[in-house]
């Protein structure tokens, strides 16, 4: 269990390490996780550009409100700034803290209390990123329409699939599990549910 300065238990410290396979890289992260006191560690051995990260998905599925996700450096968490922002937003919404062991942003960030500002900024950046993507997409579609072209990517989630997803979510199934079963990303599923709300 991790504890606050008052000694009150706040949940488990869960480690996530992403390694390229080099022995030194693996050992540095392993030692840091052990020193931090992680009760369980999940791992992915792959490039950050690889979209499939079963270790990270397993860690997110395993964690509960009050737990803390521990990473060696913030860049171990995601493949890109957008990816890190999306994960930070999910952690915040689930009441899970983040602890970065080394690097410029080393420290503990809780969705409540002192670390709330970090999550507020991360969520704000994620929203800004989404708004910019929507704006660029809209501008591109408008330009194409002006030139007589129509189209865009067909939706991957129909109304029927969205109804099923909402029902599964209402029964307590995780967004990760629903997205996997439907063959879409968590971000796509979140976006469709948010748009329909």
How high is the pLDDT of residue 2? 45
Percentage of the chain with pLDDT > 90?
A: 22
How high is the pLDDT of residue 48? 47
- Nearest Cα neighbor of 95 from 123, 64, 60, 74 is 64
Specify which residues 19 forms β-bridges with.
Answer: 45
First to last CA, the chain: 37
| Residue 13: strand, helix, or coil | strand
Q: 2-121: CATH homologous superfamily?
A: Resolvase, N-terminal catalytic domain (3.40.50.1390)
How high is the pLDDT of residue 9? 42
Q: Which residues are catalytic?
A: 20
Query: Residue 71 above 80 pLDDT?
Result: yes
Query: Residue 5 above 50 pLDDT?
Result: no
- Nearest Cα neighbor of 88 from 113, 48, 118, 61 is 118
pTM of the model as a whole: 0.56
How high is the pLDDT of residue 39? 93
Q: Which residues contact 84 (CB under 8 A, 6 or more apart)?
A: 74, 75, 77, 78, 122
Cα separation, 167 vs 157, in Å, equals 14
Average pLDDT, the chain: 80
- Nearest Cα neighbor of 164 from 182, 187, 177 is 182
Task: Point out the least confidently predicted range of 45-49, 121-125, 139-143.
Answer: 45-49
Same fold flag, 2-121 and 159-196: no
Q: What is the DSSP string of 83-152?
A: HHHHHHHHHHHTT-EEEE-SSTT-EEE-SSGGGHHHHHHHHHHHHHHHHHHHHHHHHHHHHHHHTT----
Secondary-structure class of domain 159-196 per CATH: mainly alpha
Domain boundaries in the chain? Answer: 2-121, 159-196
């Amino acid at each position: 269990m991790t504890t606050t300065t008052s000694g009150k238990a706040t949940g488990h410290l869960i480690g996530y390490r992403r390694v390229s396979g080099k022995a030194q890289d693996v050992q540095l992260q392993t030692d840091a996780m052990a020193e931090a006191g992680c009760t369980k560690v999940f791992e992915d051995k792959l490039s950050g550009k690889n979209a499939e990260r079963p270790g990270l998905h397993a860690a997110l599925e395993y964690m509960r409100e009050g737990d803390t996700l521990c990473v060696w450096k913030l860049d171990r968490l995601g493949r890109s700034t957008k990816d890190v922002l999306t994960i930070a937003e999910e952690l915040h919404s689930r009441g899970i803290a983040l602890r970065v062991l080394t690097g410029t942003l080393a420290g503990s960030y809780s969705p409540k209390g002192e670390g709330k500002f970090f999550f507020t900024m991360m969520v704000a950046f994620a929203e800004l990123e989404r708004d910019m993507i929507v704006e660029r997409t809209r501008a591109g579609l408008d330009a194409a329409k002006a030139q007589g072209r129509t189209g865009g990517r067909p939706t991957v989630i129909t109304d029927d699939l969205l109804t099923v997803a909402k029902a599964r979510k209402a029964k307590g199934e995780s967004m990760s599990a629903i997205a996997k079963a439907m063959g879409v990303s968590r971000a796509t599923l979140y976006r469709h549910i948010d748009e329909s709300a």
